[in-house]
């Protein structure tokens, strides 16, 4: 039906572009030109998953280049502890891509810093645990002693001209006044003395952060980011790294950007410790929605396939990349899709290299049967086909009967549908036949 007069919010939902994020009353610290995504798949991801071979690590790095080599993925973090880690970094440096820029990830010790220097990297993340939980319980030292140790390694790094990204580990359980700000003030002074920039990474280590400006520190992500901006840090000096323990990781990462952090530190598919990290592909979609830039999200299916060959199992319902992300089984949805794909799609799936899809079950109604036929019959055969066609009705009855008789509860495969439908549409007969599976059939 023609949509004259319909309010479709085209400025927000262009459909053929990622949904746009329009702001009213944005934080004074937010500037879309200053935001980027950063990657930690090969650090936090690998740590929470399994040790990778050099070849696997390199393929993941190349995938990041394909996806965000335009600079939308600014950096990628690497371990340096094993021979394999160092060989991977050597290969990555040899490849010479500008983005994602390879950087190290180390603990705050001089021996770890040496690994960065020997690898020839000019930037590294440095784990500087900042909450009293970590300082008193994990490290077993006083706050002053902990800061002193961190700062001595930072100073040494600056002497070598290395940019340090200090992870404020467990920042969402740390005192802003007693721990974070005093540390940052000392970093500012060191940086002025050596003329070398530093950055900080706000780590929501246990996923306790909250994305709302009304929430005070330590849990309020907007408050933490804005406090660092008030302390004089620029967007490019502030990274946010969240975990998904409480299911809020994407919201927290968005909040960090919107309140003045420049970098959003993610992993492919959100792979990472416990409930995982922030999914990089999702943040790239929002990055596109905030900046109008277009990372190559259509590469995602290839990347997911590659990760699956490495043993990653992607849940069917995973946003953007799961099998069901653009696939519906509900008759009402399929009916809507037949009338206009925009009714039940958040955006054109082609943006992320996918197609809208359906799965035929007993709940899909005649709409599912019709949509399946439209996808599998030659165009001339479906031109006049509609839900009232007696063949569609008969096929629908067969589908329902099959589910009722067998007690089956999984969708029909294309081969099974071909076999059923060829009774009424002989042109499908040449298609691969398969036996109709019973209730134990697994998709
Ligand atoms: C860890 C904890 C960490 C570190 C973050 C970072 C966190 O794995 O040691 O330095 O990138 O969330 O605090 O992932």
Instruction: Quick: pLDDT tens for 25-39.
Output: 889 999 999 999 999
pLDDT recorded at residue 1:
64
**How many angstroms separate the CA atoms of 43 and 56, rounded?**
13
Measuring from atom 10 of ligand 1, which residue has the nearest CA?
167
Mutation choice for ligand 1 from 39, 42, 44, CB with most ligand atoms inside 8 A: 44
Least confident of 12-26, 384-398, 416-430: 416-430
61 close to 42: Cβ distance less than 8 angstroms: yes
Expressed in angstroms and rounded, the spacing between residue 442 Cα and the centre of ligand 1 is 38
pLDDT recorded at residue 3:
79
As a whole number, mean pLDDT of residues 398-427 equals 91
143 three-state secondary structure? helix
Q: Which atom of ligand 1 is nearest to the CA of 265?
A: 11
Ligand 1 site, residue 123, Cβ cutoff 6 A = no
Name the band, by pLDDT with cuts 50, 70 and 90, for residue 359.
confident
Q: Is the pLDDT of residue 276 over 70?
A: yes
pLDDT recorded at residue 155:
98
pLDDT recorded at residue 435:
34
**How many angstroms separate the CA atoms of 55 and 65, rounded?**
15
Beta strands in 79-142 (DSSP E): 101-107, 123-129
As a whole number, mean pLDDT of residues 328-352 equals 88
Give backbone dihedrals phi and psi of 70, rounded to 5 degrees, phi first.
-75, 0
pLDDT in tens, 258-267: 999 999 999 9
As a whole number, mean pLDDT of residues 89-116 equals 98
Higher pLDDT, 434 or 393: 393
Mean pLDDT, the chain, integer: 94
As a whole number, mean pLDDT of residues 243-247 equals 98
Name the band, by pLDDT with cuts 50, 70 and 90, for residue 333.
confident
Ligand 1 site, residue 44, Cβ cutoff 6 A = yes
Domain with CATH 3.20.20.70 in the chain: 32-309
As a whole number, mean pLDDT of residues 94-101 equals 98
As a whole number, mean pLDDT of residues 63-81 equals 98
Q: Is the pLDDT of residue 140 over 70?
A: yes
Degrees, nearest 5: CA angle 7-8-10? 125
Answer whether CATH 3.40.640.10 is correct for domain 32-309.
Answer: no
Q: Which residues contact 303 (CB under 8 A, 6 or more apart)?
A: 63, 66, 67, 268
pLDDT recorded at residue 86:
98
pLDDT recorded at residue 432:
43
Higher pLDDT, 327 or 257: 257
As a whole number, mean pLDDT of residues 22-51 equals 96
Positive/negative CA dihedral, 387, 388, 392, 393: positive
pLDDT recorded at residue 150:
98
The reported pTM is 0.92
């Amino acid at each position: 039906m023609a949509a004259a007069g319909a309010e479709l919010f085209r400025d927000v939902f262009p459909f053929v572009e990622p949904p746009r994020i329009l702001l009213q009353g944005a934080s004074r610290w937010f500037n879309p030109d200053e935001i980027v995504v950063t990657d930690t798949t090969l650090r936090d991801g690998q740590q929470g998953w399994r040790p990778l071979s050099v070849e696997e690590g390199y393929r993941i790095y190349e995938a990041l280049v394909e996806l965000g080599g335009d600079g939308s993925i600014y950096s990628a973090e690497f371990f340096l502890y094993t021979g394999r880690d160092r060989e991977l970094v050597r290969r990555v440096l040899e490849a010479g891509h500008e983005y994602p820029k390879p950087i190290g990830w180390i603990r705050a010790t001089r021996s770890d810093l040496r690994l960065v220097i020997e690898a020839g990297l000019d930037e590294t993340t440095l784990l500087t645990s900042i909450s009293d939980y970590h300082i008193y319980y994990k490290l077993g030292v006083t706050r002053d002693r902990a800061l002193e140790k961190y700062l001595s390694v930072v100073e040494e790094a600056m002497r070598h001209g290395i940019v340090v990204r200090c992870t404020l580990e467990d920042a969402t359980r740390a005192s802003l006044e007693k721990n974070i700000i005093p540390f940052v003030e000392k970093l500012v002074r060191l940086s002025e003395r050596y003329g070398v920039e530093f950055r900080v990474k706000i780590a929501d280590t246990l996923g306790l952060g909250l994305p709302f400006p009304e929430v005070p520190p330590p849990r309020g992500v907007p408050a933490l980011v804005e406090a660092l901006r008030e302390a004089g840090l620029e967007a490019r000096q502030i990274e946010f790294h969240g975990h998904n323990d409480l299911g809020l990781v994407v919201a927290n990462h968005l909040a960090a950007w919107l309140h003045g952090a420049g970098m959003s530190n993610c992993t492919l598919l959100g792979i990472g410790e416990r409930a995982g990290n922030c999914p990089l592909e999702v943040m790239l979609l929002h990055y596109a929605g905030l900046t109008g830039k277009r990372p190559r999200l259509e590469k995602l299916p290839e990347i997911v396939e590659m990760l699956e060959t490495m043993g990653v199992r992607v849940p069917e319902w995973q946003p953007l990349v799961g099998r069901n992300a653009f696939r519906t089984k509900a008759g009402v949805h399929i009916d809507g899709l037949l009338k206009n794909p925009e009714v039940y799609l958040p955006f054109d799936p082609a943006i992320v290299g996918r197609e809208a899809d359906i799965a035929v079950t007993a709940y899909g109604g005649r709409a599912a049967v019709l949509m399946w036929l439209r996808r599998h019959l030659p165009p001339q055969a479906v031109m006049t086909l509609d839900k009232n066609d007696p063949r569609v009705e008969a096929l629908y009855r067969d589908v329902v009967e099959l589910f009722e008789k067998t007690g089956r509860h999984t969708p029909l495969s294309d081969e099974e549908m071909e076999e059923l439908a060829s009774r009424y549409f002989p042109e499908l007969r040449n298609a691969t036949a398969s036996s109709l599976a019973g209730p134990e059939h697994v998709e």
